[in-house]
């Protein structure tokens, strides 16, 4: 079940790296990295570039050469957002980072919101620390800027459908600005993740809830990109609809079977983590 958090500082969250997948984001990347380090100076950044034709990868190498907080992971070809994030997660885990953040390269996610997200991972007061923090457009205080009305309603509708189908109390399950404790990613069987696009975000949020982790939502401001082209396609939307529907059906079948087993054996079972 997702909780909601307000403003707090980021001190004590742990060694943090922000994973930023890129494909033709040369125009926006320098500004995004500058804003990130203005907001959270101690954070590292990993640019995961899918062989961008516009030279984003080469630019990232130049930026990394002058800033030890910037790292670059080159991939041979464009293979999907989910695969890029999984590759970035593995890179970060292998190098001992405590907190792994997802953030877009196009400036739609405001790095200035990150300190509040990291603060939700801090155990202060004791017993309040989250395992996963979702930057949310749709909780009180969150907002969307410069989106066409149909895009916002498509997003809200997709989130509502996912929430009902999967039985999760998350208002922005498709959002791509989020932070994970390393233990969560280590537990999520990343090698089994096949989903891409927005569906990847739904997949990991649902896995986190099912795994019993504490998931909270922190309000953010999402601003439509000012440069470059949106990567959302009809195929991405259809993949999300199909996978969420399949997961929802599987969940209901599993719940029915558990109920049948309980009735037939007259024993007490643990409640679903959903």
For each of the chain's 274 residues, which pLDDT tens digit applies?
466 554 444 566 789 999 999 999 999 999 999 999 999 999 999 999 999 999 999 999 999 999 999 999 999 999 899 999 999 999 999 999 999 999 999 999 999 999 999 999 997 778 889 999 999 999 999 999 999 999 999 999 999 999 999 999 999 999 999 999 999 999 999 999 999 877 999 999 999 999 999 999 999 999 997 666 665 677 878 888 999 999 999 999 988 888 766 554 433 323 333 3
- Here the tokens at position 82 are 């989910």
Q: Quick one: DSSP state of residue 80?
A: -
Q: Which fold has domain 2-256?
A: Spore Coat Polysaccharide Biosynthesis Protein SpsA; Chain A (3.90.550)
- The predicted pLDDT at position 3 comes to 64
Give the C-alpha separation, 268 to 262, whole Å. 7
Please state, in angstroms and rounded to a whole number, the distance separating the CA atoms of residues 7 and 226.
27
Domain boundaries of the chain, sorted by first residue: 2-256
SS3 168: coil
pLDDT at 268: 31
pLDDT value at residue 237: 82
Q: What is the pLDDT of residue 14?
A: 83
Tens digit of pLDDT for each residue in 191-201?
999 998 779 99
Fill in the DSSP letter of residue 70.
E
Output the pLDDT for position 123.
76
Q: What residues contact residue 5 under an 8 Å CB cut-off, 6+ apart?
A: 116, 119, 120, 130, 133, 216, 217, 218
Q: Which of 65, 60, 77, 71 is nearest to 16 (CA)?
A: 71
199 and 233 in contact (C-beta within 8 Å)?
no
Question: Are the CB atoms for 71 and 46 separated by under 8 Å?
Answer: yes
Give the pLDDT of residue 274. Answer: 31
Alpha helices in the chain (DSSP H): 29-39, 56-66, 81-94, 114-119, 149-166, 182-187, 197-210, 234-265
Residue 226, pLDDT score? 67
Contact 32, 20 (CB under 8 A): yes
Q: For position 40, what pLDDT does the model report?
A: 98
DSSP 181-225: EHHHHHHS-GGG----HHHHHHHHHHHHHHTT--EEEEE-EEE--
CB 120 within 8 A of CB 197: no
pLDDT at 271: 30
């Amino acid at each position: 079940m997702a909780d909601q958090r307000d403003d707090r500082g980021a001190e004590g969250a742990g060694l943090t790296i922000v994973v930023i997948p890129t494909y033709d984001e040369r125009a926006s990347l320098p500004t995004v990295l500058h804003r990130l380090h203005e907001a959270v100076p101690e954070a590292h950044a990993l640019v995961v570039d899918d062989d961008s034709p516009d030279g984003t990868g080469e630019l990232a190498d130049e930026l990394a050469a002058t800033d030890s907080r910037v790292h670059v992971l080159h991939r041979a070809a464009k293979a999907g957002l989910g695969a890029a994030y999984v590759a970035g997660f593995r890179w970060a885990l292998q190098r001992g980072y405590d907190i792994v953040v997802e953030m877009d390269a196009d400036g739609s996610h405001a790095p200035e919101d990150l300190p509040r997200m990291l603060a939700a991972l801090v155990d202060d007061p004791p017993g309040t620390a989250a395992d996963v923090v979702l930057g949310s457009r749709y909780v009180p205080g969150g907002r969307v800027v410069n989106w066409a009305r149909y895009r916002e309603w498509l997003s809200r509708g997709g989130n509502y459908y996912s929430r009902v189908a999967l039985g999760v109390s998350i208002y922005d399950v498709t959002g791509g600005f989020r932070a994970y404790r390393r233990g969560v990613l280590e537990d999520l069987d990343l090698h089994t993740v096949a989903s891409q696009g927005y569906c990847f975000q739904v997949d990991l949020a649902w896995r986190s809830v099912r795994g019993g982790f504490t998931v909270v939502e922190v309000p953010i401001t999402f601003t439509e990109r000012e440069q470059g082209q949106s990567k959302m396609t009809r195929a991405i939307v259809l993949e999300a609809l199909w996978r969420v529907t399949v997961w929802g059906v599987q969940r209901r079948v599993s719940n029915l079977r558990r109920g049948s087993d309980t009735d037939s054996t007259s024993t007490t079972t643990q409640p679903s983590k959903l």
